[in-house]
Structure 1
Amino acid sequence: MLDKQTIEIVKATVPVLESHGTAITTRFYQLLFQRHPELLNIFNHANQKQGRQQTALANTVYAAAVHIDRLEAILPAVMQIAHKHRSLGIQPEHYPIVGENLLQAIQDVLGEAATAEIINAWGKAYEYIAAAFIQTEQRLYQAAGWVDFKNFIVKRKVKESEDVCSFYLEPEDGQPVAPFAPGQYISIKCTGIPGETHEHIRQYSLSDEPGKPFYRISVKRIDALQDKPEGKVSNYLHQHINEGELLAVSAPAGDFTVDLESDEPVVLIAGGIGQTPLLSMLKTLRRQQPNRPVTFLHGLQNSRFHALADEVKALRSASGPFPYFVAYSNPLAEDRLGEHFDKAGFVDLEWLQAVVPDKNADYYICGPQPMMQAVYRALRTWGVAPERIHYEFFGPKGMIES
Structure 2
Amino acid sequence: MMLQQQKEIVQATVPVLQQYGEAITTVFYTTLFEENPSLFNIFNPANQQNGGQARSLAASILAYAAHIDRLDQLGGMVNRITHKHASLEVQPEHYPIVGDHLLRAIRTVLGDAATPEVIDAWAAAYGQLAEIMTGVEQKLYTEGRSQLGGWAGYSPLTVERKVVESDVITSFHLVSPTGAPLPTFLPGQYLGVKAQVPDSPFEQIRQYSLSRVPNGRTYRISVKRESAPAHIAAAQNGLISNHLHESVHEGDTILAHVPQGDFVLRDNDKPVVLLSGGVGITPAICMFEHLARNSKRPVLFVHATMQRSHHAFSDETRELTAAHPHARALVYYEKVTPADVQGRDFDAAGRISIDSLRPYLPQQPADFYYCGPVGFMGAVEGVLDSLNVPLADRYSEAFAPDPSFVTELAKA
Scaled by the length of structure 1, what TM-score is found? Answer: 0.95
Determine the structure 2 residue equivalent to 1:132: 132
- Aligned pair partner of 1:247 in 239, 242, 254: 254
Shift of 1:321: 6.1
Name the stretch that deviates more: 179-188 or 116-125: 116-125
Instruction: Give matches, 1:96-245, under 5 Å.
Output: 96-144=96-144, 145-191=150-196, 193-223=197-227, 229-245=236-252
Query: Residue 189 of structure 1 contacts residue 249 of structure 1 at CA under 8 Å; is this kept in 2?
Result: yes
Residues 1:340 and 1:126: Cα distance change in structure 2 (over 3 Å): same
The CA distance in 2 between the partners of 1:173 and 1:22, in whole Å, is 47
Shift of 1:359: 5.8
Determine the structure 2 residue equivalent to 1:6: 6
Classify the secondary structure of the residue corresponding to 1:62.
Answer: helix
The CA distance in 1 between the partners of 2:226 and 2:29, in whole Å, is 27
Name the stretch that deviates more: 349-358 or 267-276: 349-358
The CA distance in 2 between the partners of 1:325 and 1:112, in whole Å, is 57
The CA distance in 1 between the partners of 2:270 and 2:326, in whole Å, is 18
Classify the secondary structure of the residue corresponding to 2:340.
Answer: helix
Residues 1:309 and 1:140: Cα distance change in structure 2 (over 3 Å): same
- Aligned pair partner of 2:275 in 263, 269, 272: 269
Name the stretch that deviates more: 315-324 or 165-174: 315-324
Classify the secondary structure of the residue corresponding to 2:119.
Answer: helix
The CA distance in 1 between the partners of 2:166 and 2:128, in whole Å, is 48
Shift of 1:224: 6.0
User: Residue 245 of structure 2 aligns to which amino acid in structure 1?
Assistant: H
Deviations 1:319-362 (A, max 9, x none): 34632111100012111356121111111100111222326211
Shift of 1:389: 1.4
User: Residue 4 of structure 1 aligns to which amino acid in structure 2?
Assistant: Q
Determine the structure 2 residue equivalent to 1:286: 292
RMSD of Structure 2 on Structure 1 (CA): 1.8
The CA distance in 2 between the partners of 1:326 and 1:86, in whole Å, is 34
The CA distance in 1 between the partners of 2:321 and 2:73, in whole Å, is 41
Determine the structure 1 residue equivalent to 2:66: 66
- Aligned pair partner of 1:399 in 379, 394, 407: 407
Residues 1:109 and 1:223: Cα distance change in structure 2 (over 3 Å): closer
Shift of 1:194: 4.2
The CA distance in 1 between the partners of 2:221 and 2:201, in whole Å, is 25
Determine the structure 2 residue equivalent to 1:307: 312
Shift of 1:270: 1.2
Shift of 1:230: 3.4
Shift of 1:205: 0.4
User: Residue 275 of structure 2 aligns to which amino acid in structure 1?
Assistant: I
Classify the secondary structure of the residue corresponding to 1:392.
Answer: strand
The CA distance in 1 between the partners of 2:8 and 2:360, in whole Å, is 51
User: Residue 83 of structure 2 aligns to which amino acid in structure 1?
Assistant: H
Instruction: Give matches, 1:14-33, under 5 Å.
Output: 14-33=14-33
Shift of 1:367: 1.3
Question: Is 1:79 aligned with 2:83?
Answer: no
Query: Residue 302 of structure 1 contacts residue 335 of structure 1 at CA under 8 Å; is this kept in 2?
Result: no
Q: State the identity %.
A: 43
Classify the secondary structure of the residue corresponding to 1:17.
Answer: helix
Residues 1:399 and 1:225: Cα distance change in structure 2 (over 3 Å): closer
Deviations 1:168-191 (A, max 9, x none): 011224321111000000111111
Residues 1:94 and 1:165: Cα distance change in structure 2 (over 3 Å): same
User: Residue 196 of structure 1 aligns to which amino acid in structure 2?
Assistant: S
Query: Residue 272 of structure 1 contacts residue 300 of structure 1 at CA under 8 Å; is this kept in 2?
Result: yes
Shift of 1:318: 3.5
Name the stretch that deviates more: 6-15 or 202-211: 6-15
The CA distance in 2 between the partners of 1:146 and 1:217, in whole Å, is 18
Name the stretch that deviates more: 336-345 or 68-77: 336-345
Query: Residue 189 of structure 2 contacts residue 259 of structure 2 at CA under 8 Å; is this kept in 1?
Result: yes
User: Residue 382 of structure 1 aligns to which amino acid in structure 2?
Assistant: L
The CA distance in 1 between the partners of 2:225 and 2:172, in whole Å, is 13
Deviations 1:197-231 (A, max 9, x none): 21111110000012241110111112468666531
| Larger RCO of the pair (alpha carbons < 8 Å, separation 6+) | 2
Instruction: Give matches, 1:337-376, under 5 Å.
Output: 339-358=344-363, 360-376=365-381
The CA distance in 1 between the partners of 2:381 and 2:12, in whole Å, is 33
The CA distance in 1 between the partners of 2:228 and 2:128, in whole Å, is 44
Classify the secondary structure of the residue corresponding to 1:219.
Answer: strand
Query: Residue 180 of structure 2 contacts residue 217 of structure 2 at CA under 8 Å; is this kept in 1?
Result: no
Shift of 1:316: 2.6
The CA distance in 1 between the partners of 2:364 and 2:310, in whole Å, is 29
User: Residue 220 of structure 1 aligns to which amino acid in structure 2?
Assistant: K
Query: Residue 300 of structure 1 contacts residue 329 of structure 1 at CA under 8 Å; is this kept in 2?
Result: yes
The CA distance in 1 between the partners of 2:361 and 2:117, in whole Å, is 56
Shift of 1:140: 1.4
Deviations 1:338-392 (A, max 9, x none): 6121111111100111222326211111111111111111111112111111111
Determine the structure 1 residue equivalent to 2:387: 382
